[in-house]
A and B are shown apart, each in its own frame.
Chain A
Amino acid sequence: MATTDQNKTKKVQVRRFKPEENPEKHYLNQEKGLWAWLTTVDHKKIGLMYLASIAFFFFIGGVLALLLRTELLTPAQTFIDADVYNQVFTLHGAIMIFFFLVPSVPAALGNFILPLQLGCKDVAFPRINLASFYIYVIGAIFTFISITTGAVDTGWTFYTPYSATTGTSVLMMTLGIFILGFSSILTGVNFITTIHKLRAPGLTWNKLPLNMWALYATSIIQVLATPVLAITVLLLAMERLLGIGIFDPNLGGDPVLYQHFFWFYSHPAVYIMIVPGFGIISEVISTFSRKIIFGYWAIALSSLAIAFIGFLVWGHHMFTAGQSSLANMVFSFLTFLVGIPTGIKIFNWLATMYKGSIDMKTPMLYAMIFLFLFTIGGFTGIMLGALAVDIHLHDTYYVVAHFHYVMMGGMVMAFLAGLHYWWPKMFGKMYNEFWAKVTAVVLFIGFNMTFLPQFVMGSQGMPRRYFNYIDQFQGFHQFSTIGSYIIGVAFLMMFAYMMHSLFKGKKAPANPWGSRALEWQVSSPAPLHNFDHTPVIIHGPYDYHQPMSEFQLGIATSHNGHHAGEPVTVEKSVTDKV
């Protein structure tokens, strides 16, 4: 144990707490009824409410995407007109980004898993956690009002001056996003505090699960970047309501300034979306390779490095926007620097698999799909970071494809890996492994059919956000549309087997994957207060060379007082009582 600060190390008496299989009482059946759910401060239930909400938004966003792809079967009008098309792509983008991607891992999976991985009863501010959920709901309501009062057709970027002149309810939607931002900030503050203050005894920073490092990095970005979005939206509102010229050239404003403001948030936001995915992949690959993670510190610190450098690259969205060549050079350079820590992670994950004991269960399969698709997303990002090439590719389908490879191929696949990984802990049920794997393969095929042709189209010069297009692209568009239908089928299959699992699935053991991580050392579904004892951590979560019994330790006496994550020395266990 910690040698340098031996005198700070606390001695604790521990004994083994084996998780109870098929517990009679757990967080899902204690405190029943709708009201108990709506007013719960339990992070797990709040996580599930977020999960249900983002699943709903993902469904809406997905249906919108299928409408778009169907319209693009032919040039000009297929079944909806240009105005509707423009509204639909705006909504697809806004919903998927602000209502699905940003909260997906931190607020849904993160909320559920963070206290379990830290060995605490809940997040630091449980009521703020519940408040953040309702703020999210209120933001969503405003956005829906904006749809019903005349949909927005500006694209999810709301670029001025178009967004200032178009006769649609941009204000209402941006207000919704403004409100939503507070939900994101509060979650971030909550997570940072919890990670700092509520770690179990012995859970020092060098034993923190990589998923926690990833959520920590994400939370920092959420807290620092989201206010800039709020400022931008406020300025936009001031301009439209009070006529103060900020972005609108008719009033003496500067439209490029808006782009700076917007991307100063929205580029880091891309890392809010993807970094938590990195955390999940680290957990999944280590667990299903049953092997210690390779390069723990490299993975942990690269998340922080990405979070930091991610703040300095927003200008790469604006290479053709009219900013100076010097600015373009600096932003291009910094963009490439972000690529390095990302590449390091990929190699570390591969090295973790080397000489492992690999069990290709569904979460692992999704992790492998992630590795492949995200690598393509990364390489095409390098392409777009190269100045001369970006001039050609900017605002074409190449960007659309790149973004979807990173966000759907990367983020959504990581999310699905996490969902399948923690599903037994959430619901105490197993899903049908066979159908889950078949679905993953169908999804993989559909995804590539949809987005690979878009790289070719984009390189050939097909601009994005085009309702109409020249005939030479029709074949690619049709192929892409068929692919999108296959994605749709895959998600229907997933919905079917998950519903089956919920209602008729086999009961899940406490630790179906044989993981050493802390959340798997409690019963499935998790107990109401996560741990009926104070867990004590003496090994890292990936130390598969240590016996399972040493991962199930808790303070033997009733005395529960401890300081967050302070190092411990373990006094020989009392008895191996269950």
Chain B
Amino acid sequence: MNRLSEYMLPPAKSVTAETTDALFTFINNTSLILLAGITVAIIYFSWKYRRRSDDDVTPVISHNNKLEITWSVIPLILVLIVFSWGFSGYMDLRTAPDDAYEVKVIAKSWLWEFHYENGYVSVNELHVPAERPVKLVMRSDDVLHSFYVPDYRVKMDVLPNRYTSLWFQTNEPGESIIHCTEYCGRNHSNMNATVFAHSQEDFETWLETAASADDDMDPVERGEMLITRNACDTCHSADGTRLVGPTFEGLWMSEREMEDGEIVTADENYIRESILDPNARITAGYDPVMPSYQGSLSDSQIDAIIEYLKTLQ
């Protein structure tokens, strides 16, 4: 029967996952045994006591105190076990160790920003050290979101008016998917990210070099890579398809009508402004929903994006 629970659950990659899975398995197995009992009783009674004639006489059994107390008390004991087990597991999930490595998370419709101690910001990629507790302090820039890593069995809503936090520790380097699990509009199901767990050394190296890692790339390739990495392509297509925002195809140097009737040429300054202060000017027919990339893209990265957009004619 444990096989079933193993099949149902994703790989357990955090130190707290084991408790959660053990409780999941316990409830699953107990439920299956009880369900089997109830099902057998239904089928057996339906057959054994099927109506033989219209004159069947049935015994008068109105109640049975011993039996009724038994089937009230045993489930009560079982749920009290489940409650205590679930609660203690939950307290472990809520209590981050003091030496946890802290990363700040900002959720925006529809991307995840991760702010590290040295000021570096990554989008939709969370890099963490393995074998060390990591604490995420999270807030939202707009509506409710929820941070969920199935492999770690952790989830916490991300709110616009307060900080929430969660912690986890993974002991094996590797990748796991992050989902948004609080409905947040059109691209809710595309608001995914990846957590990369590195060994402590690799993580330190990554953190030092991340800011300049793509400096040497060819600008056009770099721009294309940044568009994907920063989830720009969630809302802007490169092939003319209309998504939440205008397509990038044919954008460069085009004459564009703004919401207020102003005509703007999509040059370097317009693109730069659209990235850093997206709601300053809105293309006619679109909603002002884009989050700002202030702080998460460097000047040279914005240059690269412009170079890439030039190629999409």
A interface vs B, CB < 8 Å?
Answer: 82-83, 86, 153-155, 159, 161-162, 165-167, 249-250, 253-256, 289-298, 320-322, 325, 328-329, 332-333, 336-337, 339-340, 343-344, 346-348, 350-351, 353-360, 368, 371-372, 375-376, 379-380, 382-383, 385-392, 394-396, 455-456, 459-461, 463-470, 514, 544-545
Contact = CB atoms under 8 A, between A and B. Distances in A.
Interface in B126-148: 142-144, 146, 148
Contacts of B49: 289, 353-358
Given A254-B161, A386-B27, A292 B62 contact: yes
Given A356-B58, A357-B51, 18 more contacts: A161-B143, A161-B144, A249-B159, A249-B160, A249-B161, A321-B157, A355-B59, A388-B90, A389-B86, A391-B153, A456-B8, A459-B10, A461-B10, A461-B177, A465-B189, A466-B188, A470-B192, A545-B60
16 contacts: A161-B160, A167-B287, A255-B159, A296-B62, A339-B75, A351-B67, A354-B61, A387-B87, A388-B16, A388-B92, A391-B155, A392-B24, A392-B155, A464-B183, A470-B177, A545-B60
Contacts of B160: 161, 249-250, 255
A107 B19 CA distance: 45
Interface string B91-106: 1111000000000000
B83 A350 contact: no
B201 interface: no
Given A379-B31, A463-B180, A468-B189, A357 B52 contact: yes
A371 B42 CA distance: 8
Nearest to A323: B157
A244 to B, nearest CB: 16
A452 to B, nearest CB: 11
Contact of A340 (B39, B76, B181): B76
Q: Which of A292, A347, A360, A388 has the most CB of B within 10 A?
A: A388
Contact of A346 (B7, B38, B164, B189): B38
B183 A162 contact: yes
Given A255-B161, A353-B46, A392 B34 contact: no
A292 B60 contact: yes
Nearest to A365: B46
Given A382-B27, A387-B89, A389-B86, A467 B188 contact: yes
Contact of A358 (B45, B71, B87): B45
B61 A351 contact: yes
A80 to B, nearest CB: 13
A392 B80 contact: no
Nearest to B86: A386
A463 B23 contact: no
Contact of A332 (B23, B87, B92): B87
Contacts of A347: 68, 71
B154 interface: yes
Which 5 pairs, one residue from A and one from B, show the smallest C-beta to C-beta distance? A461-B150, A388-B89, A386-B86, A357-B56, A387-B90
A396 to B, nearest CB: 7
Contact of B46 (A337, A344, A368): A368
Given A290-B56, A388-B90, A339 B79 contact: yes
Nearest to B192: A470
Interface of B: 7-10, 16, 19-20, 23-24, 27-28, 31, 34-35, 38-39, 41-42, 45-46, 49-52, 54, 56-64, 67-68, 71-72, 75-76, 79-80, 82-83, 85-94, 142-144, 146, 148, 150-151, 153-157, 159-162, 164, 177, 179-190, 192, 287
B27 A294 contact: no
A396 B27 contact: no
Contact of A382 (B79, B90, B287): B79
Contacts of B179: 461, 463
A321 to B, nearest CB: 5
Contacts of B142: 161, 165
Nearest to A379: B31
B35 A375 contact: yes
A159 B144 contact: yes
Contacts of A396: 181
A353 B148 CA distance: 45
A291 B62 CA distance: 9
B155 A394 contact: yes
A298 to B, nearest CB: 6
Given A292-B62, A344-B68, A382-B31, A159 B183 contact: yes
Given A320-B146, A320-B155, A355-B61, A153 B185 contact: yes
B312 to A, nearest CB: 22
Contacts, number: 264
B245 to A, nearest CB: 14
B8 A460 contact: yes
Contact of A290 (B28, B51, B82, B162): B51
B63 A294 contact: yes
A391 B39 contact: no
Nearest to A293: B62
A467 B144 contact: no
Nearest to B190: A468
Contacts of B189: 82, 463, 465-469
A333 B76 CA distance: 11
A155 B38 contact: no
A458 to B, nearest CB: 9
B260 to A, nearest CB: 18
Nearest to A540: B62
B50 A360 contact: yes
A154 B80 CA distance: 36
Given A347-B71, A368-B46, A389-B24, A292 B164 contact: no
Contact of B24 (A166, A294, A320, A459): A459
Contacts of A329: 87, 90
Nearest to A347: B71
A463 B27 contact: no
B58 A545 contact: yes
A217 B275 CA distance: 57
Contacts of B24: 383, 389, 392, 459
Contact of A388 (B31, B71, B86, B164): B86
A95 B185 CA distance: 20
A357 B188 contact: no
Contact of B82 (A292, A355, A386, A470): A386
Given A394-B181, A466-B189, A165 B34 contact: no
A463 B67 contact: no
B155 A544 contact: no
A168 B67 CA distance: 55
Contact of B144 (A255, A293, A350, A356): A255
B63 A295 contact: yes
Contacts of B54: 514
Contacts of B144: 159, 161-162, 255
B58 A372 contact: no
B45 A389 contact: no
Contacts of A165: 142-143
Contacts of A336: 79-80, 82-83
A84 to B, nearest CB: 10
Contacts of B58: 289-292, 355-357, 544-545
Nearest to A344: B72
A336 B79 CA distance: 6
Given A336-B83, A350-B38, A386-B82, A391 B51 contact: no
Contacts of A359: 50-51
Nearest to B145: A162
